[in-house]
């Protein structure tokens, strides 16, 4: 009997792991129901449980129901502190796309310049190595002080965290283009501008898109933390607000949505990377 394709086996294994994780989660919650017995009632109430022993941590079915409720009405708007998860995610995605897009406009041309010019590489490399390890959130106080607008400050932080992986990958991809291809273009007397677009860009495109893929993942991580700091509207603020309301179920549901959007962004750029990748 022929064996199943690896893709089918991977799907089956993923389903098995999901049900195993759900069962372990449900069992751990059930096993902890008596852990709060004897605890001060006021403290137990604060943690969302009773002294009779109900666990404060929601189970998978409770979280699943909450996720379904969010899907059923994702765009409701009942005031500044009560908006649907679709609106919260929309604000976060917009900030990420604006900051990420600005980083693309700077990082790709500058990466081309660094990759094609050893002089610019040596001149700019010390600055890149100093700025690259700095946590993006370290820029937030400075951004808030100078810009004085929480939304623009969040976009600026996304810009800062997105630019370095793209810049480094673009410079590496451009510098790694085969010398034979450049020599052929030189022999045919192709101009530098045309060589950059007709030879270097197609060859370096997979590496550039890999940098973009890394950058958008970092940007999506950072926007959640940035929105927790600045407040307003966004999925990060939603998580922080639900924690303040002691709604652990909504916090876990938000984590699910954050992961879902992050997976979607990575999938899109992963598919684009495959489109521009060619076999030797």
Torsion over CA of 202, 94, 157 and 167, rounded to 10 degrees?
A: 0
**Of 6-10, 77-81, 230-234, where does mean pLDDT reach its minimum?**
77-81
Percent of the chain with pLDDT over 90: 46
For the segment 210-255, what is each residue's pLDDT rounded down to a tens digit? 999 999 999 999 999 899 888 788 999 999 999 888 889 999 999 9
Q: Find tokens 């959640």 and name the residue.
A: 224
CATH 3.90.550.10 is held by the domain 85-276: no
The whole-model pTM stands at 0.83
The per-residue pLDDT for 30 is: 73
For the segment 198-207, what is each residue's pLDDT rounded down to a tens digit? 888 888 899 9
pLDDT at 175 over 60: yes
Q: What is the mean pLDDT of residues 63-77?
A: 90
**Of 127-136, 174-183, 215-224, where does mean pLDDT reach its minimum?**
174-183
**Of 48-57, 97-106, 175-184, 246-255, where does mean pLDDT reach its minimum?**
48-57
Judged on CB neighbours under 10 Å (0-12, 13-18, 19+), 102 is: middle
The per-residue pLDDT for 259 is: 94
The per-residue pLDDT for 189 is: 74
Residue 167: pLDDT band (50, 70, 90) is: very high
CA neighbours within 13 Å on the CB side: how many for 114? 23
Residue 76: pLDDT band (50, 70, 90) is: confident
Domain ranges of the chain: 85-276
Pick the closest to residue 236 from 254, 261, 262 (CA basis).
Answer: 254
Which tokens belong to 19?
Answer: 């049900």
């Amino acid at each position: 009997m022929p064996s199943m394709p690896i893709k089918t086996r991977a799907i089956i294994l993923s389903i098995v792991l999901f049900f195993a994780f759900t069962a372990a989660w449900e069992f751990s919650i059930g096993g902890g129901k008596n852990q709060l017995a004897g605890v001060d009632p006021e403290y137990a109430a604060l943690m969302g449980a009773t002294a009779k022993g109900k666990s404060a941590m929601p189970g998978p079915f409770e979280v699943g129901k909450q996720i379904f409720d969010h899907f059923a009405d994702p765009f409701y708007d009942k005031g500044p502190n009560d908006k649907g998860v679709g609106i919260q995610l929309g604000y976060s995605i917009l900030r990420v796309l604006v900051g990420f897009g600005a980083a693309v406009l700077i990082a790709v041309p500058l990466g081309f310049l660094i990759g094609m010019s050893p002089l610019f590489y040596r001149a700019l490399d010390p600055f890149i190595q100093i700025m690259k390890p700095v946590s993006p959130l370290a820029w937030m106080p400075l951004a808030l002080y100078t810009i004085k607008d929480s939304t623009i400050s969040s976009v600026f932080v996304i810009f800062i965290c997105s630019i370095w992986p793209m810049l480094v990958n673009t410079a590496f991809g451009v510098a790694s283009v085969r010398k034979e291809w450049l020599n052929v273009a030189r022999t045919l007397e192709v101009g530098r501008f045309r060589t950059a677009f007709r030879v270097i860009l197609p060859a370096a495109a997979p590496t550039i898109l890999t940098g973009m893929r890394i950058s958008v993942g970092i940007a999506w991580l950072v926007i959640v933390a940035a929105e927790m700091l600045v407040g307003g509207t966004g999925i990060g603020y939603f998580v922080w607000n639900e924690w303040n309301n002691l709604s652990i179920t909504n916090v876990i549901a938000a984590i699910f949505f954050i992961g879902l959007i992050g997976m979607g962004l990575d999938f899109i750029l992963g598919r684009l990377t495959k489109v521009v990748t060619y076999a030797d």
